[in-house]
Amino acid sequence: MVLLESKTLTKNFGGLVAVDNLDFQVHQGEILGMIGPNGAGKTTVFNLITGVYPPTHGEISFNGQKIVRPSESSWEAFLASPVFDTVVICLSALMGLILALAIRRATTAGFLTSVSFLALVVLLFLVAGWGIAQLVRRLIKLPVLRPRPHQIAEKGIARTFQTIRLFRNLTVLENVMAGRHCRTRAGVWGAIFRTNDQQKEEQEIVQGAEGHLDFLGLTETKDELAKNLPYGFQRRLEIARALATDPTLLILDEPAAGLNEQETTELMALISQIRDTGITVFLIEHDMKVVMGISDRIVVLDNGAKIAEGTPTEVQANPRVIEAYLGEEEE
SS3 43: helix
Which DSSP string do the residues of 46-65 spell out, in sequence order? HHHHTTSS--SEEEEEETTE
What's the pLDDT score for residue 263? 93
Report strand pairing: 31-35 vs 280-284.
parallel
Order of all β-strands in the sheet with 297-302:
157-159, 249-253, 280-284, 31-35, 297-302, 305-310
- Among 124, 232, 242, residue whose Cα is nearest residue 175: 242
CA distance 283 to 267: 12
Q: What is the three-class DSSP state of 68?
A: strand
| 82-106 helix and 115-139 helix, angle to the nearest 10 degrees | 140
DSSP-assigned letter for residue 225 = B
Determine the topology of domain 158-246 in CATH. Rossmann fold (3.40.50)
Digit-by-digit pLDDT tens for the chain (331 residues) are 899 999 999 999 988 999 999 999 999 999 999 999 888 899 999 999 998 888 888 989 999 888 877 755 567 667 777 788 888 888 988 888 888 888 878 777 677 667 787 888 888 888 888 888 888 777 765 544 567 788 899 999 999 998 899 999 999 999 999 998 888 777 666 667 777 877 888 888 999 999 999 999 999 999 999 999 999 999 999 999 999 999 999 999 999 998 999 999 999 999 999 999 999 999 999 889 999 999 999 999 999 999 999 999 999 999 999 888 766 656 5
Please state the domain extents for the chain: 75-145, 158-246
Task: Provide the angle, in degrees to the nearest 10, between the axes of the packed helices 261-276 and 231-243.
Answer: 10
What pLDDT was estimated at residue 273? 95
Report yes or no: 145 and 80 within 8 Å, Cβ to Cβ: yes
First to last CA, the chain: 45
pTM: 0.77
Instruction: Return the SS3 of 281.
Output: strand
Q: For residue 248, give the DSSP letter.
A: S
